[in-house]
């Protein structure tokens, strides 16, 4: 009987240790993903500071995908928007497409609307719709309606 109690106690201790380890690992993973998002956001903001026209209404509303090949500013804007929407897609997935949680992290609505012309007129037809998952495309559409 003493052996049964010892085995049971050891099993419980092992289970508690495994659960604790799993919880800590999950917490660290989530923290690292959030830090990765923060780092990506910082990178995008640094680009915007270096090239302020990328966040200028006057410039973003002048978007024309046909100018990408001939104009360095439009080429840079194309790449910048790809970075931006890739980042927003990761944020949406991280927050499980919950608009409230996404918007508590970043002003997504404002950013999407500022770059709406790019989203609606990509350099390749259907590029944005085909490149992202359906939930993200629906999220972007909801901000543009």
Position 25 scores a pLDDT of 59
pLDDT in tens, 26-52: 566 666 689 999 999 999 999 999 999
Is 103 buried (19+), middle (13-18) or exposed (0-12) by CB count in 10 A? middle
Position 59 scores a pLDDT of 96
Question: Lowest mean pLDDT: which of 8-12, 99-103, 108-112?
Answer: 8-12
Position 27 scores a pLDDT of 60
- pLDDT of residue 57 exceeding 70, the answer is yes
Closest CA to 115 of 142, 77, 89: 77
Region 69-96: mean pLDDT is: 95
pLDDT in tens, 58-73: 999 999 988 888 899 9
Region 107-131: mean pLDDT is: 92
Tokens of 104: 């508590």
Say if residues 89 and 112 touch (Cβ distance below 8 Å).
no
pLDDT in tens, 114-123: 999 999 999 8
Position 134 scores a pLDDT of 96
Position 16 scores a pLDDT of 72
How many percent of the chain have pLDDT more than 90? Answer: 66
Instruction: Give the mean pLDDT of the chain.
Output: 88
Alpha helices by DSSP H, the chain: 2-50, 57-60, 72-94, 99-105, 108-114, 116-120, 127-131, 134-144
**Where do the domains of the chain lie?**
34-144
Position 121 scores a pLDDT of 93
């Amino acid at each position: 009987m003493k052996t049964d109690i010892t085995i049971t106690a050891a099993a419980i201790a092992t289970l508690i240790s495994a659960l604790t380890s799993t919880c800590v690992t999950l917490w660290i993973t989530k923290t690292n993903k959030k830090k990765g998002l923060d780092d990506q956001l910082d990178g995008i903001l640094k680009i915007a500071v270096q090239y302020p026209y990328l966040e200028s209404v006057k410039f973003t509303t002048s978007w024309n995908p046909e100018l990408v090949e001939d104009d360095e500013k439009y080429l840079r804007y194309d790449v910048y928007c790809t970075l931006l929407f890739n980042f927003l897609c990761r944020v949406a997935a991280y927050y499980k497409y919950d608009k409230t949680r996404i918007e508590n992290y970043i002003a997504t609505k404002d950013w999407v609307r500022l770059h709406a012309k790019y989203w609606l007129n990509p350099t390749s037809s259907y590029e944005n719709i085909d490149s992202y998952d359906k939930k993200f495309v629906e999220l972007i559409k909801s901000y543009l309606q």
